[in-house]
Structure 1
Amino acid sequence: MPVQYEQSIIKALAYFDIFNYPLTLDEIHHFLDQPVSGDDVLLTLQQLVDDNRVFRMGNFYSLQQDPSLRARRTNGNNKATALLTKGYKVGGFLYQFPFVRGIGISGSLSKNFADQNTDIDFFIITHANRLWIARTLMHLFKKLTFITGHQHFYCMNYYIDEEALRIDEQNIFTATELITLKPVCGNGTMDRFYDENNWAGNYFPNQPVSKESIVLAKPGWFKRAVEWLLDNKTGNSIDNWLMRVTTRRWLKKEQLQKTNSHGIRMGLHTGKHFSKPNPEFFQRKVLDSLEKKLNSQTAYVNS
């Protein structure tokens, strides 16, 4: 088999190996960075297994010779099935907040994996120039969920508005997050989001972005009333003020190097049309880990 096929397979496995997540044959094919037939993937994988560069565990493949990864993944997939049901219900509820135009499930749950520490992470698109009003209202509600211990069902950590549908950071991390995003509901904005980010197909040409399961939801009376009330210059001023207040608060958190419950450094990258985790923290950590794994594989082959 061509060497580039081997490299593509190793790269796909190495990325998910960061998360101790072995892949199936179909998943490896989907996450390859070049067009390859399924038969060629199978033949190349078999050669890599024979050379002890890849290890097979039932239906799963990994760069680690660790049988426990198979059980971990199977258990995680089973837990994700139940948690996703809850996620879709919560997503439908969150859509009814003012100025929300699209909701998707992201994070590990979007890859069909969950453990006892898994949160339900949401990707949210808002109406243009009303992101900070929407975000503030949603996070005020989240504070109430701490009382009942349900805060892990409402992790709303990535916002963009209709003026910033195209993702700026275009790399394997953001491409993976985009193609695995599970749409929940919207008003058609999610379709436009996918169209604006068709660049992800350059990273994964064997797996087109899925637009299925987008429920076109109708806004409730509360959502319509607040949007009518703030569809004016006062709304503009409030949105700008909330952006400044939130940005100052998060800058202080970054300076104090605070971490979340998972030990990941907290940081928020903000602008008028976006509010998202600072890519210099978790995203950069993943990309650096991938580079190290690929370098170690190259060193092994050349030794």
Structure 2
Amino acid sequence: MVGVGEQLERCAASRGSPRGPAPLERAILGALVYADLFDYPLTLLEIHRYLIAVPASLLEIRTAIARSKWLTDRIVERRGLWTLRGREHLCELRSQRAAAAARLWPHALRYGRILAALPYVRMGAVTGALAMDNAEDGDDIDYLIVTAPGRLWLCRAMVIALVRWAARHGIALCPNYFLSERALALEDRNLFTAHELTQMIPLFGGPIYQHMRAQNAWTARFLPNADGPPWSAEVVATGGRWIRAGLEAIGRAPPGAWLEAWEMRRKIRKFSTREGGEVRFDPDHCQGHFDGHGQRTLAAFAERFHRLCL
């Protein structure tokens, strides 16, 4: 099987022929195949944003769909949503999940305001299913957190305390990715990571979000139309800034560095007993994706995209 990266290269470099689909047709199908892995049909605007490997305008996409028998044999529109043929039931499922997401967003914003007030937190964004309004009641609220350099593990400890407090109130917070400000350029450069970056909804720390996107300009190779966030919430931190500033000043003293090193060693020792997945633990990273979700998604995309392109 051709790897995902090589498939995208071929899609971007191919010139099309009377016997096969043009690059734009493949790119449109690719966007819908990827979304289908998450049972998620797309609007035309979303197809445009998440078009794979080939930059194109909304008009070019609309025209390609209208004129391509190759595409219309494989995709279908229902109530303004596009999906793979045989998957039309997902249009109703999207409505149900959007309603569930609407019930989760107030909690995501409320706890986002608290996160913004914690010492050493510099940026926070909602990721995962909720970022796409593709959630179900009771789902975790996933966050990516950017921290001050040298205090990632102390910051994480405070965030986990908030997670436990929220759980007592029936809210499942899942801050599953921590980065320090000096580690914004991501090493995993693939379609899955590009989607996670371009789908996430920044809640606070807008300048750092912009810097992170600039540090990961490689995402344009995979999703050339996905510039900036889908939308931005910009919550205001709960609590006084002077309290956070005071706590951070205390934490800059020598005992703070000792506590940071102790907490990092303690947690890495614990995490090292678990195997597999996409993980990285060091002074600037706490990535605990033990289930290997990204690699499984890429493998599933490669298989389905290849099969539907035949």
| Deviation sequence 1:46-85 (CA, Å, 0-9, x none) | 3257742112222111124133211100121232233223
The question of whether the paired residues in 1 share the 8 Å contact of 2:147 and 2:181 is answered with yes
SS of match in other structure, 2:182: coil
SS of match in other structure, 1:103: strand
Q: Decide which moves more: 189-198 or 268-277.
A: 189-198
Q: Decide which moves more: 281-290 or 223-232.
A: 223-232
Deviation for aligned residue 1:247: 1.2
The aligned counterpart of 2:80 is 59
SS of match in other structure, 1:276: strand
Gaps of 5+ in 1: 258-264
Q: 1:237 to 1:214 in 2, by over 3 A?
A: same
CA distance in 2, matches of 1:178, 1:279: 19
Matches within 5 A, 1:47-126: 47-48=68-69, 51-126=72-147
SS of match in other structure, 1:188: helix
SS of match in other structure, 1:74: helix
Matches within 5 A, 1:161-240: 161-186=180-205, 188-210=207-229, 212-214=232-234, 217=237, 220-240=241-261
| Deviation sequence 1:87-115 (CA, Å, 0-9, x none) | 12210111111110111111111112221
SS of match in other structure, 1:177: helix
| Deviation sequence 1:157-202 (CA, Å, 0-9, x none) | 1110111011111111111111111111127323322222222223
Percent of aligned pairs sharing the same letter: 25
Across the aligned residues of Structure 1 and Structure 2, the Cα RMSD in angstroms comes to 2.4
The aligned counterpart of 2:63 is 43
The question of whether the paired residues in 1 share the 8 Å contact of 2:113 and 2:236 is answered with no
The aligned counterpart of 2:154 is 133
The aligned counterpart of 2:45 is 26
The question of whether the paired residues in 2 share the 8 Å contact of 1:12 and 1:31 is answered with yes
Deviation for aligned residue 1:140: 2.4
Matches within 5 A, 1:239-258: 239-252=260-273, 254-255=274-275
The aligned counterpart of 2:3 is none
The question of whether the paired residues in 2 share the 8 Å contact of 1:201 and 1:209 is answered with no
The question of whether the paired residues in 1 share the 8 Å contact of 2:104 and 2:137 is answered with no
CA distance in 1, matches of 2:165, 2:71: 55
| Deviation sequence 1:196-232 (CA, Å, 0-9, x none) | 2222223222231238444575853442232111103
CA distance in 2, matches of 1:48, 1:112: 31
1:14 aligns to 2:27 (yes or no): no
CA distance in 2, matches of 1:161, 1:219: 23
The question of whether the paired residues in 1 share the 8 Å contact of 2:37 and 2:300 is answered with yes
CA distance in 2, matches of 1:145, 1:212: 23
Q: Tell me the amino acid that sits aligned with residue 246 of structure 1.
A: K
TM-score (norm 1): 0.86
Q: Tell me the amino acid that sits aligned with residue 5 of structure 1.
A: L
Matches within 5 A, 1:257-268: 268=279
The aligned counterpart of 1:294 is 305
The question of whether the paired residues in 1 share the 8 Å contact of 2:76 and 2:88 is answered with no
SS of match in other structure, 2:145: strand
Deviation for aligned residue 1:269: 2.3
The aligned counterpart of 1:284 is 295
TM-score (norm 2): 0.84
CA distance in 2, matches of 1:291, 1:187: 34
SS of match in other structure, 1:277: strand
SS of match in other structure, 1:95: helix
